[in-house]
Copies of this chain bind each other. A is one copy, B any other.
């Protein structure tokens, strides 16, 4: 394979294989793609570092001697250069790069960046409890607890954005700390604002103060240098797009990936799964993805990757039968490889020097482990027809006295240590498991428990074991700042109300999953665990089933819209779900909103939470429409007392939107044809482009893609289709409906 001659799209996902012959090679290849390839447009010193523009509106400043193994050395895809043309140009750095300072310490190195006292900082990866990250320390440690108060989570990302319209990425796999305006350099006198003079006593103590002069301090342990990347705007959203395009652009899902996902009980046999899968069809409950455990955990919990033949006597047949029912399959696994596994012996030399659950920790940074592991998984999963995987347990327990994962002091054959590998294992594991499917020209849509920087091109959605509906919404709001996809999966629910409210959120996420891993019946039959497993339906089963079906149908009616939003993610870097502040950075009221989010270009969701009879909704400036009533609403204000029944969600449409809504289908097929009702909001609606292709291969990269542009002019709808896709037609507009 000659990396020089491959197209960008060919490189995505395969790049790792192509170049991982040795880590050095891979690293060099990455530099070729991500660093040197881009024309050097501007030079200049800054804080002793050498600055160069590495992509339009993206500057790199190299300080000191950066570590060799960083997130960028393992990038999933090359920079999506073409995508930058869709953005407002940005020729000048957002602030003087000379204002960045760098120094090494015995501990590692430190970078300071300028801040204004007014700007607000967001990002740093997934977070379910924190939103505004200004005036605090953020500590980027991967954790199995997404609720950490210092910023540790399943997916910490050393990238932040500012309401001043820029982003900063520090290329490090270290557990870096960011002090976003709450430290006082000695050189800046009086920064605390408060005056001098005597105070009475210690009772005067610990008053929280805002500094009157701010800097961002970044503490990168162990490293003697670091590459700092500055992403210009002009607006915050543009900086996020630049970061995502720099990462390679967002991952386009297969069409079925945007359908509804259901994970059956952990101990389900093939027969159990087939039976319940049929029941869902009988109930006309939309569902595209079926999740199941193949039973290859051993008694120590590490994986043998050997099918449990008691439960799955014929895996191929099971997958085929599920497919016959219209389901794609998603199989659970984790990477820690038990000695009884057929690949254990081959893998041992290419693993870390500490075990987890008596299992090997494969070094996915090296070609050997990737090949041994990936080829075997290809054989036992993908060759049998499996469509996707759920990659569990690849995080860490930094606050546990008895962490089960490998220690930070681990060493790996690639040269990574345990700290770096904890940051990178999620991405590397995803790459390893994605590669065989890329080779099969098959798109996938998976789940993963750990992610980090530059994750946009990876077709995996981060999930969590933790559980709070408000936190889950906040996770969704935050993920969009950092090139992450997150699912607020529905699992625990204390009542039919809670179940419906949670489903009302998850249907607007990248992965609309009900995770019923410990209950035999679907939760809409019975939310109580014990009663569910005793086979006892709840009294409200009929009304709950209807409400859930309605919500799932809403999801299915949005499939064309969402597919389009994900194509935008791939092509322009625009996150499919995101915070209000990302689109309205100058609207201060939007800065604080972390319980509403934007979904795609035109919709805003304001989930209701259990126990609420109504809620307040903030409408950013502009005109809005209630999705359900069509009522026209002036924005730039809070509306109070919003209430929707259990089968609905407070949902708002931006002015001048063409919203294509499909007749809901139960699941995607190769010849799915969406019957569209196009709602017309406002007087001069922006045209909307839908994407038509086979929905499951990468042929679209070679032209097998149609862009179907809907526009509304002079009271009349127009459809223009362009492109080289020749398969079954995907869209048929049955009606244009002007709203209000």
Contacts and interface: CB of A to CB of B under 8 A. Distances in A.
A85 interface: no
A219 B402 contact: no
Interface centre among A179, A186, A192 (most CB of B within 10 A): A186
Nearest to A173: B106
A125 to B, nearest CB: 15
A260 to B, nearest CB: 22
B219 A222 contact: no
Interface residues of A, number: 100
A418 to B, nearest CB: 7
Which of A138, A201, A310, A392 has most chain B Cβ within 10 Å?
A: A201
A574 to B, nearest CB: 30
Interface class of chain A by DSSP? loop
A191 interface: yes
Interface in A273-327: 293, 295-301, 304, 306, 308, 310
Contacts of A358: 184, 190-192, 194
Contact of A409 (B187, B217, B301, B406): B217
Interface in A473-513: none
Contact of A402 (B208, B357, B401): B208
Interface in A356-406: 356-358, 360-361, 392, 399-404, 406
B267 A354 contact: no
A663 interface: no
A694 interface: no
Interface stretch (A345-353, A563-571, A616-624): A345-353
B357 A192 contact: yes
A219 B130 CA distance: 30
A714 interface: no
Interface stretch (A332-340, A680-688, A718-726): A332-340
Interface string A183-198: 1111101111011111
Interface in A172-225: 174, 177, 179, 182-187, 189-192, 194-209, 217-219, 221-222
Interface in A409-451: 409-411, 415-420
A579 B296 CA distance: 47
A69 interface: yes
25 contacts: A67-B106, A106-B416, A107-B409, A110-B409, A135-B402, A136-B402, A137-B400, A137-B402, A138-B401, A150-B399, A151-B401, A177-B408, A183-B407, A184-B354, A186-B353, A192-B300, A197-B298, A198-B295, A198-B296, A199-B298, A200-B295, A201-B295, A205-B301, A206-B301, A222-B222
Given A186-B355, A198-B304, A199-B297, 12 more contacts: A107-B174, A137-B400, A137-B407, A183-B354, A184-B354, A185-B354, A190-B339, A191-B358, A196-B300, A197-B298, A201-B293, A201-B297
